[in-house]
Every structure is written in C-alpha cells, then in structure tokens.
Chain A
Amino acid sequence: MTTALDPATLERALAAATEAARAAGALAMKYYTTGFEVTIKPDDTPVTQADREAEEAIVATLGRGHPLDHRSDRRHQELRAPDPGVGDAARARGAR
C-alpha cells in the first residue's frame, strides 16, 4: 500500500506526536508519583484522571501546528479510544 504523505510531512508528524507524548507523559508522571484512582467506564474497562488529562494534553499539543491540522481527520478520531484507558497498572489492581 502506498502513502500520499511525503517523508518530510511524516517527519513533522512524528515530531508533533513525540512532543504530544512527552506532554502527556509529564502530566501522567504527576499522578504516578502522587497516586491515582481507577474508575470503571461504562464498557467495563478502567480509566484514571491521569488518562483523561493526558489525552487532553495530547489533543492540545496536536492542535498547535500539527502538519495535518487542515484535514478533517475522521480516521484519527476513530482510532482514539472512546475514553482513554489504562494498562497493566490498573489490571494489576484487578480492574480488568
């Protein structure tokens, strides 16, 4: 399958994603060191306040000059979790 995105655009997208991941990671670390509560979403999967705020940080970061901002990126929306979830940290507590 071919992609219509040239390498320079992909590099910019990767840089934006890296910046967003770092912003989310820094925010999540605040909860990692101070503790967090796990709540269960309607679909019976766990979520934390750190997840929600991290997702907000990602969306905000990508909203500042993302190279694909001009697109109506519906697939991107579909790829996003309907509500951010957590991984093994919550599962280890029996949330899954």
Chain B
Amino acid sequence: MWATLLALEAHGEIVAGVILNPVTGELYAARKGGGARLNGRRVSVSSIGDMWSATFLHAGLRLYRKAGVWDGIVRLVDATERQRGFGDYLGYALVTEGKAEMYVEVDVKPWDLAPCKIVVEEAGGRFTDFAGQPTIYSGNALASNGRLHEAALALLAGR
C-alpha cells in the first residue's frame, strides 16, 4: 500500500493537497474551501456521533507502544464498536469517505500528513495532533469525522 502525496502550504496553512494511489487509480484531492473529491466525485465524512457506533482505524500497533500512547489506544479500542488496522494514507482516505470515524497515527513526518489534513478537513472532518492543535508538525495525528474528535482526544489523553 503506497501513494504519492503532494500538498501546498501557504502562510503556515495547508491549502491544497492530492493523494494518488497509482495501483488502484484512486485520487483524493482538496483545496481550501473547495470540498474533497475522490476521482472527481465529492466525498464527505460520516455523520456518526456516538462512539459506540464508530469505527476506529489504527496503523502498526507496535508504534503506539513505542510512542507511549498505548493506554490511550486501548481506551479507544474499548470505546468504539469496530477497530481495523491499515496504515499510512489509507486511514485518512477511509475517514474522508465516511467509511470510518477516526484514525490515529504516530511516528509520522509532515510530508506524510500534509495532503491528508486538507483532504480530511474539506470532507467535513477534523485533523489535529494529540493536543488538539491543527498541525502536521507534531509527529502524531488524529483524523476524525469531526463529531467524535473531542471525545477521541480525551480518550487518547486519559481525560
């Protein structure tokens, strides 16, 4: 699983981004204020608002343990209806399409996250680091459908 990721940052804000999986031909694209599109078709996050109906996506589990957020991940596992593991761009893509409600990543670089942020946001979702800041520079990321974002942040932090 891999993709080509490109983004444009202007004045400290990611304002455009594309995610292309050349194998499947799936192209996610978004620019500030223009919505998110998958192969030209508008896509949006899910409207699920209760954690027990939500699907939580994770990446490689060992990375969470190494990053010291294992307890937070377990709380998300216990709170959500389903959990599935993918990785890299695909988790953001599935949240963007409304096929999952949240995705958590650690050990990531800004260039891993830049287009994912604008694509998720323009689909109606929310993208932050674990502290709730809308940034790609913290090395960790939570993407969600928006409605469950604060709850997911609280579970990650143990609040």
Q: Which residues of A contact B (CB under 8 A)?
A: 1-5, 7, 10-11, 13-14, 17-18, 20-22, 24-26, 28-29, 32, 54, 58, 68, 75-76, 79-81, 85-89, 91
When A13-B31, A18-B18 are in contact, do A88 and B2 touch as well, CB less than 8 Å? yes
Instruction: Check if B74 is an interface residue, CB within 8 A of chain A.
Output: no
Residues of B near A5 (CB, < 8 A) are: 10, 15, 32
Complex formed: what's the CA distance from A87 to B19 in Å?
Answer: 13
Residues of B near A7 (CB, < 8 A) are: 31, 33-34
- Contact pick for A26, options B22, B29, B33, CB 8 Å: B22
Q: B91 → chain A, closest Cβ, in Å?
A: 11
Q: Which residues of B contact A (CB under 8 A)?
A: 1-13, 15-23, 27, 29-34, 60, 87-89, 109-111, 114
Please tell me if the beta carbons of B3 and A13 are within 8 angstroms of each other in the complex. Answer: no
Could you name 14 residue pairs across A and B whose Cβ atoms are closer than 8 Å? Answer: A5-B10, A10-B8, A14-B29, A22-B20, A22-B22, A29-B23, A54-B4, A75-B12, A79-B110, A85-B109, A87-B88, A88-B1, A88-B2, A89-B2
Q: B61 → chain A, closest Cβ, in Å?
A: 13
Residues of A near B5 (CB, < 8 A) are: 21
Q: B126 → chain A, closest Cβ, in Å?
A: 15
When A10-B31, A18-B18, A21-B20 are in contact, do A81 and B1 touch as well, CB less than 8 Å? no
Please tell me if the beta carbons of B60 and A75 are within 8 angstroms of each other in the complex. Answer: no
When A17-B6, A21-B6 are in contact, do A79 and B32 touch as well, CB less than 8 Å? no
When A7-B33, A79-B110 are in contact, do A25 and B4 touch as well, CB less than 8 Å? yes
